Structure 1
């Protein structure tokens, strides 16, 4: 079995994935807020 040394893992891919997830979630939430406002104003 391979030896593990604490602090040697490259976490760049995980950090980029997390940043992408946060960006997507933020944009999607903003879209949903605008959609709800649009429906509140124009859906009669």
Structure 2
């Protein structure tokens, strides 16, 4: 078996994917909150 060396894996693609997921989630939550506020204001 190969020797395991901790911390040598390149995780830049994983980090980019995770950052994109977090950004998407934050934007989605903001859109939902704005929709809820608008519904509350206009009594839909």
TM-score w.r.t. structure 1 length?
0.80
Structure 1 gaps of 5+ residues are: none
RMSD: 1.2
TM-score w.r.t. structure 2 length?
0.80
**How many aligned positions are there?**
43
Structure 2 gaps of 5+ residues are: none
Runs of 4 or more above 6 Å deviation = none
